[in-house]
């Protein structure tokens, strides 16, 4: 039986090696896809890792608030403040045009006299409080009782900007304004109390947060486009073998070779195992090619290198089991489908759906609750979580065992259904 299995694998390998188009689809296209997607996504991850997003600032205030905004936004490391375009100082109209044309994502317009009016507003409030406690004396200069109009800080967003980005910016600006107001209140109180030389209020925050991630060799591992994309798109490529594999089985039926194979003294399972071993080899080669691209090609393209670390065996095992799951599904589809017109579009579409609900494109945690539940049914999600456990969460073999078991069960279940379906459909 082993001899027959060996010959079946040999035949499949020869068939694969002579299908140039198939080889390109299996090996070249996933690498092109990986490089393209990573380069496209580099920007969004770079906000974490260094590159600054240019933000237009129109300063009609010309006071200390404008100075604070400039300083605070600049110091976050995420934004580069732009106040001139082509030697022209920005006006609200020119900033708006530049943003709405899509040249910039965001413009912040500070209204005139923002600092003065805020100072006045706070001074009025502090005066009122001091008067309540009878702290005010005859020397104190009271703020004039004038009505201060509300001030609008206008934000202009590129209409194509994603909602999550807008929310993050608005939250940053809110925080910035609250900080400025708080600082002002402290300052005015000090002035009113006549202790303006040295700060009497400790303005340092008592409550702080610290982000603590898993560390490898003492260095925190940051999620980057590369660490996300190499496993995610490798999985996508591995699962895409559903298409050529199902077509391969349908072809066996349509060209008549299946008739010959079924009438041979060989069980259908051996025929399927021949395909399983061959496509398992294909999926591992795909994975290693993706690793090679991540480790060696990315740095040449000015992308960060993919860090395999000491995880090579775990990554290979996860890729192997993901390959098994994909092969099981491909075999099932090829067994049930009667034409290539059925298997190819269905296989391709279904893989895209599995990728979508599996978290390859959009992280599962941002999906609606229903989709999060559904995503747990996607073998691509199991494998992706396994890869993240290994790469980003310092997962041990025990940590990835549940994912490996799920992927193996999926393979066994789909293979069993394929064998039973074939038996019911055809044989005596």
Partner 1 sequence: MEIIRIDSLSKKYKDSDYYSVENLSLQISEGEVFGLLGPNGAGKTTLISMLCGLVKPTSGSFTIAGLSYRESAMAIRRLIGVVPQEYALYPTLTATENLVYFGAMYGLKGKNLNQLVEAGLAEMGLSKFAHKKIGAFSGGMKRRVNLLAGILHDPKLLFLDEPTVGVDVQSKNAILDFLKERNQSGMTLVYTSHHLIEAQELCDRIAIIEGGKVIAQGTPQELIHTTQDARNLEDVFIALTGRGLRDAI
Q: Which residues bind partner 1 (CB under 8 A)?
A: 3-4, 7-8, 10-11, 14-15, 18-19, 255-257, 259-266, 426-428
* Residues 398, 395: Cα–Cα separation, whole Å: 8
Nearest to 407 by CA among 293, 299, 326, 307: 326
Provide, rounded to whole angstroms, the least separation between the CB of residue 259 and partner 1.
5
Q: Determine if residue 134 is left, alpha or beta; phi over 0 gives left, psi from -120 to 50 gives alpha, anything else beta.
A: left
Looking at beta carbons only, is 2 or 144 nearer to partner 1? Answer: 2
CB 1 within 8 A of CB 270: yes
* Residues 349, 297: Cα–Cα separation, whole Å: 30
User: 141: burial class by Cβ within 10 Å (0-12, 13-18, 19+)?
Assistant: exposed
Provide, rounded to whole angstroms, the least separation between the CB of residue 250 and partner 1.
14
Provide, rounded to whole angstroms, the least separation between the CB of residue 327 and partner 1.
20
Looking at beta carbons only, is 282 or 383 nearer to partner 1? Answer: 282
* Residues 61, 65: Cα–Cα separation, whole Å: 8
Looking at beta carbons only, is 1 or 144 nearer to partner 1? Answer: 1
Provide, rounded to whole angstroms, the least separation between the CB of residue 284 and partner 1.
23
Provide, rounded to whole angstroms, the least separation between the CB of residue 264 and partner 1.
4
CB 232 within 8 A of CB 384: yes
Provide, rounded to whole angstroms, the least separation between the CB of residue 270 and partner 1.
9
Looking at beta carbons only, is 50 or 265 nearer to partner 1? Answer: 265
Looking at beta carbons only, is 113 or 251 nearer to partner 1? Answer: 251
The residue whose two tokens read 């905004």 is 69
Residue 88: phi and psi, rounded to 5, are -100, 125
Looking at beta carbons only, is 53 or 262 nearer to partner 1? Answer: 262
Looking at beta carbons only, is 210 or 260 nearer to partner 1? Answer: 260
Looking at beta carbons only, is 228 or 275 nearer to partner 1? Answer: 275
Looking at beta carbons only, is 258 or 324 nearer to partner 1? Answer: 258
Provide, rounded to whole angstroms, the least separation between the CB of residue 337 and partner 1.
18
Residue 160 contacts by C-beta under 8 Å, 6 or more apart in sequence?
Answer: 102
Residue 139 DSSP one-character state: T
Pairing mode of beta strands 53-59, 79-82: parallel
Pairing mode of beta strands 53-59, 106-110: parallel
Residue 301 contacts by C-beta under 8 Å, 6 or more apart in sequence?
Answer: 35, 39
Q: Report how many helices (DSSP H) and strands (DSSP E) the chain contains, helices first.
A: 17, 8
Provide, rounded to whole angstroms, the least separation between the CB of residue 415 and partner 1.
20
Say how far residue 414 (Cα) sits from the centre of its chain: 30
Provide, rounded to whole angstroms, the least separation between the CB of residue 339 and partner 1.
15
């Amino acid at each position: 039986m082993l001899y027959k299995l060996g010959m079946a694998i040999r035949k499949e390998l020869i068939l694969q090696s002579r299908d140039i188009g198939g080889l390109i689809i299996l090996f070249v296209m996933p690498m092109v896809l990986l490089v393209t997607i990573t380069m496209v996504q580099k920007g969004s991850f770079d906000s974490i890792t260094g590159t600054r997003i240019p933000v237009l600032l129109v300063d009609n205030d010309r006071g200390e608030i404008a100075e604070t905004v400039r300083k605070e936004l600049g110091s976050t490391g995420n934004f580069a403040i732009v106040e001139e375009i082509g030697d022209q100082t920005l006006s609200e109209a020119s900033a708006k045009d530049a943003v709405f044309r899509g040249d910039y994502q965001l413009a912040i317009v500070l209204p005139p006299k923002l600092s003065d009016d805020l100072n006045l507003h706070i001074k009025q409030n502090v005066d009122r409080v001091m008067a309540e406690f009878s702290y005010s004396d005859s020397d104190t200069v009271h703020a004039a009782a004038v009505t201060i109009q509300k001030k609008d800080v206008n934000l202009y967003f590129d209409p194509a900007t994603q909602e999550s980005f807008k929310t993050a910016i608005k939250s940053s600006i809110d925080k910035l304004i609250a900080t400025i107001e708080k600082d002002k209140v402290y300052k005015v109180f000090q002035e009113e109390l006549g202790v303006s030389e040295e700060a009497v209020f400790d303005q340092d925050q008592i409550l702080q947060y610290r982000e603590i991630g898993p560390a490898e060799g003492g260095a925190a591992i940051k999620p980057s486009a590369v660490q996300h994309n190499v496993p995610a798109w490798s999985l996508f490529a591995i699962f895409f073998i559903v298409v050529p594999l199902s077509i391969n089985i349908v072809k066996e039926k349509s060209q008549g070779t299946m008739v010959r194979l079924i009438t041979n003294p060989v069980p259908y399972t051996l025929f399927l195992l021949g395909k399983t071993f061959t496509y398992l080899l294909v999926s591992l080669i795909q994975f290693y090619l993706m690793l090679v691209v991540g480790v060696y090609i990315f740095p040449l393209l000015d992308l960060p290198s993919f860090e395999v670390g000491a995880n090579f065996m775990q990554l290979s095992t996860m890729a192997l089991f993901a390959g098994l799951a994909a092969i099981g599904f491909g075999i099932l589809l090829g067994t049930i489908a009667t034409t290539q017109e059925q298997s190819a579009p269905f296989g391709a579409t279904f893989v895209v759906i599995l990728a979508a609900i599996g978290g390859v494109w959009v992280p599962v945690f941002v999906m609606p609750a229903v989709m999060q539940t559904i995503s747990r049914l996607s073998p691509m999600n199991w494998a992706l979580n396994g890869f993240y456990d290994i790469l980003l969460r310092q997962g041990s073999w025990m940590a990835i065992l549940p994912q490996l078991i799920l992927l193996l069960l999926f393979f066994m279940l789909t293979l069993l259904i394929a064998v039973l379906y074939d038996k019911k459909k055809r044989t005596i």
